[in-house]
Amino acid sequence: MQPIPTDPLAQRVLLNGLKGVGPVTVRRLREAFGGELSVALGAPAEHLAKVEGISRPVAAAIAARDFDWAAEMGRIRDLGFRLLSENDVVWPAPLARLWDPPLVLYAEGANFPTERAVGIIGSRHCTTYGASLARSFARDLAKQGWWVVSGLARGIDTAAHEGALDAAGRTAAVVGHGLDLTFPPEAIRLRARMKADGCVLSEFPLGRPADRQTFPQRNRIVAGLVRVMVVVETDVDGGSMITARFAGDLGRTLCAVPGRADSPASRGCHALIRDGATLVSSVDDILTELGESRDQPALALVTDPPEFARWLPHFAGGAAQDAESLAALADCAIAEAAVALTMMEIRGVLTRRPDGRHERA
């Protein structure tokens, strides 16, 4: 049993290293123990098991505190990595919209993604055409000042990172394993290039290998970091489809590149387009979805239209509203709220989520 750390960041590292404990569990602990993780860490297993959603094995793991957080933080320092939490000034702001944001991020690199970030993802088994397209998209977007975010996997991910770096731009990789590991092994040189002006991120403890659970967890962070997600090539059962679904659930703009009708590498993209993703075939198409064109400032930098001042405060902090909830908050008729939602969506101030509610674009 490890001692309870007094440092809030160390408390997160400890919880993050316990088997079965993740962001959702920690949120439940905060709610049950008045926001004090130190109190939760000192509670007996029988009390922890009474918290809704926490099983007896997980309660026992928390009470046992069998993770050497002090050694972990020492290794992080020795390896030259950095630990980020939501209280850090460089914590990527878009992650606040995740309902289960990571407890901590292990980070390697000098800079971290801003709001101007685009995801470019796709198959590990991509075609030469797909890799060339991903590299070209990333290069041109980086020249426009956009971060390129992907997962450091073979294929499309690698091409996207390389394209951004070729343009002396910034790129971020989110990996599905401990930051002291590199997978695939041939990505070591690419990773070394990335950390100079970009970063590599992971939410997993050091030494954690990649598996079927870690990659979906990684994918939600990739989706959370970006404003637009571009899928270049994927089959219908590819991991990129999971990331695409996360992006859609978060209200991010989802784009897909069409390909040959008989190519398995494009079947997933065609399915996404069929289901409502925006078809893109050039970087100009992507920039249009981002609200700008080459060498012009983003429309998102323009101040909010004053006629919407009555409504927009109710969407602060990532809040989502439908006509009924907005009418209640604004003390108006539901029909009036519905019209306001439609107008704000048309003007690009709000975006419609898959569940029909609206949030800030």
Give the residue-averaged pLDDT of 186-198. 93
- Which pLDDT does position 295 carry in this prediction? 61
- CATH code, domain carrying 356: 1.10.10.10
**Judgement on whether residues 217 and 275 belong to the same structural domain of the protein:** yes
pLDDT tens by residue, 41-80: 999 999 999 999 999 999 999 999 999 999 999 999 999 9
Q: Are 244 and 353 in a shared domain? A: no
Domain contains 134: yes
Pair (129, 240) in one structural domain: yes
pLDDT in tens, 298-309: 433 345 778 888
Same domain, 188 and 222: yes
Whether residue 225 is contained in a domain is answered as yes
Sign of CA dihedral 205, 208, 210, 211: negative
Domain total in the chain = 3
Question: Is pLDDT of 242 > 80?
Answer: yes
Domain harbouring 41, CATH code = 1.10.150.20
Structural domain that includes position 324: 303-360
* pLDDT of amino acid 317: 63
Residues 312 and 277 in one domain: no
Shared-domain flag, residues 268 and 175: yes
**329 and 204 share one domain:** no
Question: Domain check: are 187 and 259 in the same one?
Answer: yes
Domain assignment present for residue 2? The answer is no
215-240: average pLDDT: 94
User: Considering the domain boundaries, does residue 82 fall inside one?
Assistant: no
Share of the chain above pLDDT 70, in %: 97
Residues 218 and 256 in one domain: yes
167 lies in a domain?
yes
Domain endpoint, select from 235, 259, 289? 289
Q: Is the pLDDT of residue 343 over 60?
A: yes
> Is residue 312, in this structure, part of any structural domain at all?
yes
Q: Is 279 helix (H, G, I), strand (E, B) or coil?
A: strand
* pLDDT at residue 294 is higher than 80: no
> Residues 141-188: pLDDT tens digits?
999 999 999 999 999 999 999 999 999 999 999 999 999 999 999 999
Which of 69, 84, 102 marks a domain boundary? 69
267 and 156, same domain (yes or no): yes
Q: What is the rounded CA–CA span in Å between residue 115 and residue 125?
A: 30
**Residue of 34 and 96 predicted with greater confidence:** 34
Does residue 88 fall inside a structural domain?
Answer: no
First to last CA, the chain: 46
pLDDT at 40 over 80: yes
Quote the pTM value.
0.79
Asked if residue 120 belongs to a domain, the reply is yes
Read off the amino acid at residue 256: A
Tell me: do 320 and 352 sit in the same domain: yes
Tell me the average pLDDT of the chain: 91
AA letter at 334: I
Q: What percent of the chain has pLDDT over 90?
A: 75
Q: Nearest to residue 231, comparing CAs of 270, 261, 260?
A: 270
Convert the pLDDT of each residue in 104-141 to its tens digit: 999 999 899 988 999 999 999 998 889 999 999 999 99
Task: Specify whether 255 is located in the same domain as 313.
Answer: no
Which of 289, 313, 344 is the C-terminal boundary of a domain? Answer: 289
Those residues whose C-beta lies under 8 Å from the C-beta of residue 150, and which sit 6 or more positions away, are 119, 120, 121, 156, 157, 160, 161, 171, 172, 173, 174, 222
Mean predicted confidence (pLDDT) in 25-31: 93
**Selection from 18, 52, 7 nearest residue 32 by Cα:** 52
